[in-house]
A and B are shown apart, each in its own frame.
Chain A
Amino acid sequence: MALNPEFVGKAFPYDEPFSVGVEKIREFARAIGDDNPLYRDREAARRAGYPDLVAPPTFAIAVIMKAQDKLLFDPRLGLNFDVVVHGDQRFVYHRPIVAGDELSSTPYVDQVRVLGGNDLISLRTEVTDPDGNPVCTAYGTLVARGTA
């Protein structure tokens, strides 16, 4: 079943900001096996000029996860999540994410299409701070295998 084209071009702002915590950054860094001191040592991060721990670059996916999932699990979209795999991902950082950030995510559906029997959806998620300043833009494509 093709994905609902009415989603294309629309914004789906998520109402709850993501609070970036010190322990969440440490947990994420441990999970990816990365012992960079800027991810775990608050003093080292401050000495490097940051207000607190720096998040690993791909931590941005954890920041936007709930906002994207709310959109992707919307039954009107018609995405079969059981067969979804990740097609591609890109992050553009307007500044590094640090502990203490309160980040809002607004996903947009840039495109839905059918390719080789698969349904593809391309999302762009704008991550901003409480003043509306851009922090990160995440672009991702998800592939529902064999659903088209």
Chain B
Amino acid sequence: MTPVLAELSVGDALPPLTYRVTRKQLVQYAGAAGDFNAIHWNQRVAVDVGLPDVIAHGMFTMASALRIVTDWVGDPGLVKQTEVRFTRPVVVADDDRGAEVEVSAVVGAIDGHAGTARIDITAKFNGQTVLGKARAVVALP
């Protein structure tokens, strides 16, 4: 069921989400998105440019974090705007476990006139946030 704007309050929490990302998924995402930057699949290149190891595509992290909002509203077409700043990389080790990212979100603002809610998203890897100002604006009935 899609949440109803009149029943929301600022500070309400969305159901949390935890996801894992492995090297295999980064390769899969590279193909799906058409982003073959080698820092997302080649450790040698990643280390050469000063990164600790292969890192997830920022857009993979954005897509995965935004799922907390689309899972909640059901219809992804209700997302009117979304934005993130990429503040820390998600480092993905060369093993089967990969990296675990914990996503949480709260209602940050409600605009009754526009019929929208702003959802503020937090994504953490190793206990540290990896996105800044991560937000989505959704239209709700």
Q: Which residues of A contact B (CB under 8 A)?
A: 24, 27-28, 30-34, 36, 38-39, 48, 50, 54-58, 61-62, 65-66, 81-93, 95-96, 139, 145-146
Contacts and interface: CB of A to CB of B under 8 A. Distances in A.
Interface stretch (B8-16, B25-33, B109-117): B25-33
A22 B140 CA distance: 27
A93 B62 CA distance: 16
B77 A91 contact: no
B75 A58 contact: no
Interface in B103-141: 133, 136
8 contacts: A30-B28, A34-B70, A57-B70, A58-B82, A62-B34, A82-B49, A88-B83, A145-B49
B76 A96 contact: yes
A86 B32 contact: no
Q: How large is the interface on B (under 10, 10 to 19, 20 to 34, 35 or more residues)?
A: 35 or more
B86 A85 contact: yes
Given A28-B32, A32-B64, A85 B79 contact: no
A85 B58 contact: yes
